[in-house]
Amino acid sequence: MSEPVKRDKALRWPIGILLGTAGIIALCIGTIIFALQHPVQMDNDYNSKYRDIDKNINDIIEANIEFKKKYKLTYMKHPLKLKGTLIAYKLTTVDGKAVKDVKIEAILTRPNEVNNNITLTFTHKGKGLYEADLVDLPLKGRWNLFATVKIGEEKGFLRLRLDSRYPDDILPFGTVIPMT
């Protein structure tokens, strides 16, 4: 009678090790399948590739500081809605004079994905006001607005967080959102 009991005890460790190894292999395969179905998305922050941003972040920050010393870039607050959103900026010098001959590159993008990027084209409406065509959002929720303003060789950046569920909430990046 004692022989089968010893054999059962002797098989517990090898069976446990085999089941543990099989479980780890199954989790690895599941991770690979999930990663292939949800690939890493490239961010459009500062309208550049992340490697260029990483390499030149100090220059980008310094250029933006210099830009803000000379110019005032203001997002004209219009509610973010699913149909017919107006995206507009007002650009003036620090002393309030309108600025002409400006190139504005802007992207309206969802956080963590690039499938729904909307590239905005701006036209000058006078008195420093620049407007994009009306935008229809494909999805409800959070959006990021990244704008790069070029005046000659000078560059300025404006990065905002928008949400179509809360159309009047417009937050600059770096703002802490209170948990409710």
- Determine whether domain 45-172 maps to CATH 2.60.40.10: yes
pLDDT of residue 43: 67
Running along the chain, 180 residues long, what does each successive block of 10 average in pLDDT?
64 91 97 88 72 87 92 86 89 89 89 84 90 90 90 90 83 62
**pLDDT, position 93:** 93
Say how many residues make up the chain: 180
pTM, entire model: 0.72
Quote the pLDDT of residue 99. Answer: 86
- Tokens matching residue 17: 């090790």
Q: Give residue 164's pLDDT.
A: 85
Q: Residue 108: exposed, middle, or buried by beta-carbon count in 10 A (0-12, 13-18, 19+)?
A: buried
Phi-psi region of 121 (alpha: psi -120 to 50; beta: other; left: phi over 0): beta
- pLDDT of amino acid 176: 57
- Listed by start position, the domains of the chain span 1-39, 45-172
Task: Please count the CA atoms within 13 angstroms of the CA of 76 that sit on its side-chain side.
Answer: 14
Measure CA of the first residue to CA of the last residue in the chain; give whole Å.
65
Residue-level pLDDT at 151: 92
